[in-house]
Homo-oligomer: A and B are copies of this chain.
């Protein structure tokens, strides 16, 4: 789980911040914490690559949200080590999981991982 689901963004202080003068407007709630920003940025960075987005989409397009590496090397114009590297990034970030059956490696979507990061994003 790369980051917690409950970002405490709402209804905290709305307190003192009267700088009383020029430019700055008041706050309505707390901003995100630095370490939460770090975690979310790491999760987003793993997604922010065209090849990795296509990999996720190809996996999701397969029955049972599972595909083997040969499915990917077919459709992506990238070398096999490069695809393997992207797959490792996605597994490490928690979006995909790997299963070996015989010679073949199958990658599956981790259920809810995309929705979680999308939800956190929409919650600021």
Question: A-side interface residues toward B, CB under 8 Å?
Answer: 9, 22-32, 34, 37-38, 40-41, 44-45, 47-54, 56-58, 60-64, 66-68, 70-71, 75, 104, 114-115, 117-119, 121-122, 124
Contact = CB atoms under 8 A, between A and B. Distances in A.
Q: 7 shortest A-B CB distances, which residue pairs?
A: A44-B48, A32-B57, A45-B48, A118-B118, A118-B122, A37-B50, A31-B57
Nearest to A30: B61
B70 A24 contact: yes
Copies in the assembly, this chain: 2
A99 B71 CA distance: 48
20 contacts: A23-B104, A24-B71, A25-B64, A25-B67, A25-B68, A26-B63, A32-B54, A32-B57, A37-B50, A37-B53, A37-B57, A41-B48, A41-B50, A45-B48, A45-B49, A47-B48, A56-B124, A114-B121, A115-B122, A117-B121
A66 B124 CA distance: 14
Per DSSP, are chain A's interface residues mostly helix, strand or loop, or mixed? helix
Given A44-B47, A119-B118, A121-B114, A70 B23 contact: yes
